[in-house]
A and B are shown apart, each in its own frame.
Chain A
Amino acid sequence: MRNAFVTTLMKLARRDKRIFLLTGDLGFMMFENFRDEFPDRFFNMGAAEANMVGVASGLASVGKIVFVYSHAPFVTERCFEQIKVDVVESNANVKLIGAGSGFGYGPLGTTHYSLEDIGVMRTLPGIAIICPGDPIEVECAILAAAHTNGPVYVRLGKSGEPRIHQKPLKFTLGKGIVLEDGKDLALIATGTLLETGKTVSQILRKNAGLSVRLISMHTIKPIDQKLIEKAARETKRIFTLEEHNIIGGLGSAVAEVIAENPVNGLLFRRLGVRDTYTSIVGSQTYLRSINGLSYDKLVKFILNAIGRKAASTLFSKKVLSKKNDIGLGLI
């Protein structure tokens, strides 16, 4: 995802001289080309995120489109007040790019997990939050962010995520994408767990005979209310899937929509980190698994929730052999 981000940003920067990039001293083997091609529009602000966001606001006030990059927890939570006061309150044209969201930097431990970032950012009025699920969604998200006037937070993974979509992708900010249609249940996935969501829906479809509607909800704010309401009406079962705390993220956003537009007999479950800290170290895959976010656990959970028993033959060799570990990649 990070490569897709840099490539897209460089394309944009060639076309549009207003594009600036600020980084909090991160981007080794990533931003070198940008730095060399646009030296006067690239600033390494050092490990000082509060100042970085303030400077971005100042640049934006003179008409620049400013991309601000750091790891997801540092570009959102460490400088939250700067985002609130300098960026969102002033409707500054600043795009916050957080990398390694969720358990992306698993082995580095809790300081590097970002499982609250969507929650805190969602409380800011007028900011758009995009969690792209694959490199193609990243490209679309960065273009959409640049073309939207005002603050945007883009929550990236790391690198090596597989493509889910085919080009060209019809991508509109605030509109979810239905990847697979179905009528038995709707699985609304976002960001880094879109790939897992796709695996889960395939297993449910092939091995449990369920017709699953898989939705990529790349924009958490503004949320696609119509798509959620339609899925609730038509499938009566909604599961949300995110690499984030179940409080504050996609699950909460969807819950808010369906609570205000009730559908009789609707089954609703949030799949995510269950409001807990994970204080053991491990790869992203391992950490997802112990938090119930591996595809086998998710399938069992979903089948349990809808009252179907998971058969032992559920996971065919074909699906299980799928390589799900995307590795740590460069930090």
Chain B
Amino acid sequence: MFLQAKKGIKPYIKNKFYMTPKAHSLKLLQETAKEVRKNILLMSHRAKSAHIGSALSTVDILVSLYCGAMRVWPKSPKHPNRDRFIMSKGWGVAAQYAVLAERNFFPKSHLMKHYTDGSAMMGCSTRFTMPGIEATTGSMGHGLSVGLGMALAAKHDKKSYRVFVMLSDGELDEGSVWEAVLSAAHFRADNLVAIVDYNKIQSFGRTKDVMNLEPLRKKWESFGWVVKEADGHSMNDLLRAFSKVPFEKGKPSVLIAHTSKGRGVSFMEDKIEWHYFNVTDELLDKALDEIENLRV
């Protein structure tokens, strides 16, 4: 089912490396996102883990990257020409695990080992513990610098891979993020793409109350980045935004993705408590139902 062809929209992904033809369909990507959301809930329910809101907030972006914009070889996760993805907001890694499993980086059965004793499925990303996890994060303000290093190496080696780094909005409070922002522009790392998961809630309050980030777009622009903004839950918008990377030659790119924490489950959406709570049996059924009926 190739919806975009039906609708007469130009193919978003010109990338010849793109692996799964079925994912050309917008509808299928949206269905994938639903599957990922369900798996996140099941993982969190079984593991009694926190950070569900953070994970749900990133799902559509991750699907648009792993099933759309990025060149990846799931069976060869360390392929030298792969696009790199760093989940700098490492506490949302449940979403990344679910997407990686959906893309067959590892069997889905691993998902249920999240948080369990002796498993490699940690609560925050840890480099190479699972295929596709490129950096150790969870402590904030690390990912963008590491990503910049990878991007500079690609430039030096004349390789064409790109580096995508997902940052949280709360993470932007960290000074080291801005060190990286400053230097990425200085070194013209146009193979580096930052994505801000801007759900406007951080650990202990709304970003505007805790540490106001606005005007966020202007901040990035003034540092020398090319900024795009998108609805972080619209697969269409996201694919369009990522269809051309870098956004402008010679400059690093940032996508400010406007998202909603806990997206997909009405009682979790835009609620700070779902940074911490875990899902009870009763709520799980309700949440899974809602996701099944989610209109996108």
| Residues of chain A having any CB pair with chain B under 8 Å | 40-41, 43, 45-46, 48, 50-64, 66, 81-82, 85-86, 89-90
Contacts and interface: CB of A to CB of B under 8 A. Distances in A.
Interface of B: 126-128, 134-137, 139, 141-142, 144-154, 156-157, 163, 175-176, 179-180, 182-183, 186-187
B183 A57 contact: no
Contacts of A51: 145, 148, 176, 179-180, 182-183
B147 A58 contact: yes
A85 B136 contact: yes
Contacts of B153: 58-59, 61-64
Contacts of A43: 152, 187
Contacts, number: 99
Contacts of A57: 135, 145-146, 149
B184 to A, nearest CB: 9
Most buried by B among A40, A50, A53, A58: A58
A60 B149 CA distance: 8
Given A46-B183, A82-B142, A61 B136 contact: no
Contacts of B126: 89
B154 A62 contact: yes
B125 to A, nearest CB: 11
A60 B136 CA distance: 14
A52 B145 CA distance: 7
A90 B145 contact: no
Nearest to B151: A58
- Among A45, A54, A82, A89, the one with the most B-chain Cβ atoms within 10 Å of its Cβ is A54
Contact of A81 (B139, B152, B163, B180): B139
A58 B144 CA distance: 9
Contacts of B137: 85
A61 B127 CA distance: 10
A133 to B, nearest CB: 32
A50 B127 contact: no
A50 B157 contact: no
Contact of B139 (A48, A52, A85, A90): A85
Interface centre among A40, A62, A90 (most CB of B within 10 A): A62
B149 A90 contact: no
B182 A58 contact: no
Contacts of A66: 149
A31 B163 CA distance: 29
Nearest to B149: A58
B150 A54 contact: no
Contacts of A48: 176, 179, 182-183
A182 to B, nearest CB: 47
Given A40-B156, A59-B150, A54 B176 contact: yes
Tell which of B135, B141, B149 has the most Cβ of chain A within 10 Å.
Answer: B149
A51 B152 CA distance: 13
Contact of B150 (A50, A62, A89): A62
Contacts of A60: 149
B89 to A, nearest CB: 14
A52 B182 CA distance: 12
B149 A54 contact: yes
A86 B157 CA distance: 22
Pairs of residues from A and B, 9 with the lowest C-beta to C-beta distance, nearest first: A58-B149, A54-B145, A51-B179, A62-B153, A48-B179, A55-B149, A50-B176, A58-B150, A58-B146
24 contacts: A41-B156, A43-B187, A45-B183, A46-B186, A50-B141, A50-B179, A51-B180, A55-B145, A55-B149, A55-B183, A56-B149, A58-B149, A58-B152, A59-B153, A61-B127, A61-B149, A62-B149, A62-B150, A63-B153, A64-B153, A82-B142, A82-B176, A85-B136, A85-B142
A68 to B, nearest CB: 11
